[in-house]
Structure 1
Amino acid sequence: MKAALSPLFALLLSAAFLLTGNGLQGILTPIRANMEGFSAMAIGFLGSTYFSGTVIGCLVCPHMVKRVGHIRSFVVLAATASAAILIQALLIDQAVWGALRMVMGFCFAGLAMVIESWLNDKTNNNTRGQVLSIYTTINFTVITVGQLMLNWSLPSGTTLFIVVSILLSISILPVALTQAMAPPPLLSVKLRIRWLLNTSVMGCAGCFCVGLANGAFWTLGPVFALESGMSIPSVTIFMSVAVLGGAVSQWPIGKISDAVDRRKVIGFCCLLAGSMGLGLAWAHGHSVSATLILVFMFGVFAFPLYSLSVAHANDSVDREDFVEVSSGLLLIFGIGAITGPLVASKFIHHFGQPSLFVYTALIHGLTGALAYYRITKRERVPAEEREDFIPVSQTSPEVNLLDPRSGKHP
């Protein structure tokens, strides 16, 4: 293990700083927007523009890296994101913030692609699974740390924006100073909707619905907690325990899905995530402890759904098609994440803050019903043709090349 990680230390360190900054800016933006009097619709718009940027980044950044190289691309993207978050602190305007959020999404997608392609190039078939597990663990851990850093200063000031900028700037150093050879060109993503639907209706629908629900949660969840009467420290705990719930449940739920029809597990998780959502809507403004328990359980059942959907889709294809399927599903997730905050904010505008989780419960309920319906329409993939479950991040298509189930290894 030590031998496998030694050449990757600088890259993982860059990833840690980068994702910590991402975690902090992700919770800081909606909280500050709410303090500035942005409407629910405006905050939802900020989430949609961010995810729009990530989708565009996944499509455009491979061409940029091919032209100027990995290190220059990383430096330019990190510097741009660092400047964007500082401009966001200086110019409090809904339209300006919308444009800056799109820039941030674009930059974070490109930065993740560069780091993940480098990690893939420095691993082999024997260490790929270990590296993916470590990278996923770092992802969950430092995003949580970033969210908790909101307690360092008042969100109404500029200090936290400066901290995000510092973290993004520091992330440049390990990559810029590395002596490692640049990896091969980044993966160019294709989105063949008809082929993906023919491959797995449930995989496509699952990833899209996860985008609808999770995009709304990440964008509007902090405001839900703040408007329920929680203090800023309690809001950070609210978001962090949701991440913790998703982190601890990935492997147990995934391993269960290896033994039974994955669609049954998807349906079961959707129905329980929906139930937790309805519980959160009921608990809003009544009980902080009940809200924290319910959001933890929400994370337990809602966050593994993306990996379950990807695993189900890849059960139906050859290993050589794994990366294309997973990358296409990531873009489908992104389209859902663009749509979700807008629709959820419309719910909140008409029915109040508790309706955020009524919305997610509706999405999860429909997805669960579809999963059980699809069981009646298509036979389960035979056990000998299925791959083991592995949790995957929703960062960039390059992370799919790290997956040891993929046939596209150097």
Structure 2
Amino acid sequence: MTDLFDSAPDSAAQAPRPLADRLRPHQLSDVIGQEKVLAADGPLGAMLAAGSLSNLVLWGPPGVGKTTIARLLAEGSDMAFVQISAIFTGVPELRKVFEAARLRRAQGRGTLLFVDEIHRFNKAQQDGFLPYMEDGTITLVGATTENPSFELNAALLSRAQVMVLERLSLADLERLAQRAEKELGRALPLTAEARDALLEMADGDGRALLNLVEQVAAWKTATLDRDGLATRLMRRAAKYDKSGEEHYNLISALHKSVRGSDPDASLYWFARMLEGGEDPRFLARRLTRMAVEDIGLADPQAQGICLDAWQTYERLGSPEGELALANALVYLALAPKSNAAYTGYKAARALARDSGSLMPPKHILNAPTKMMKGLGYGDGYAYDHDADDGFSGQNYFPDGMKRPALYVPVERGFERELHKRVDWFAKLRARRQGGQA
């Protein structure tokens, strides 16, 4: 039977293959940007050198070579390469894939099953791979842009090694651009600054870069500068999932930059989140938490400044109100830091759980009835305002409990003054209680 495409006239014009497909590497050494994994001393390189390919999960952002690496692994291992997507594949299709792999195995050939977007399968569907992985019917190579620890079940992860692939650096993207120019047979019509802008637009995604290169190469124009490029190409939106791992990664980076007293890094991560579409109210809430948790009483004004900035944002809205949040952010980054009150609070909660329902000492209990007075409630209470220095030094912890030191101020900011007060009261208390003894 004649193939339909074979009957087309020889002169029929064929659409050129996309540049990304034409530049797909033919051997692992041609893969750009994943040397840490593929090098001879890297985890995947060492596995290949040993001649034993195990089940894998390739975790990395889009456009870093996950599909290419899987295909080359199959070729290098003389295995049949079968590719499916978790988005379009259901249980009936999976059964057919497993049955075909079983037949191949009976004929002496293995199957590398590449599952794109493997995190899209639910937990029960993921369990369906396990028996075929265990008996060697398939060698599974899953690809995911999501954290496998959160998206893949423990049983599957215990049978596969996770290989972390990294976003391409600007240097990696430049090498890829040069490879594309060689394939096209001409240089891109861009100034050096415009070329840098093009690489930045790709945002670490090799496939995206090649698509951009293909657009630029098709233009019939003189050399373009950065502004000329910007008028013709839209900047790629930064990858940011407001409810996913990227959200937590960036807020962690922002919080730790403030804690580390780095206003420049703090502003950068703050801007990254806003550019990604983060709700400024979430950031206002998080800034207030930073003031309470990481600055505390080292600068008692910090919390009020955050609340004022939050209120200013509510009145002005975006984008003007975001500047108020940025002002508060810089203040927090440069403020003296102390988590002494936070640490003391957590220690107090733990002590409260461990000590159960111990009663306060009787001398600090009110005695509103005759019976309570008869039981000794309030006996011996010293009214602090009547004492020298306004301090009686009495014990306020349950009887028999060893006095803990929960709040230990640091020698930074306003807590220097509080440290002096804590020490002063401790000495007075020891003197007064010693006198009472």
TM-score normalised by the chain length of structure 1: 0.20
Between structures 1 and 2, the one with greater helix share: 1
Between structures 1 and 2, the one with greater strand share: 2
Higher RCO (CA-CA < 8 Å; seq separation 6+): 1
Name which one, 1 or 2, has greater alpha-carbon Rg: 2
TM-score normalised by the chain length of structure 2: 0.19
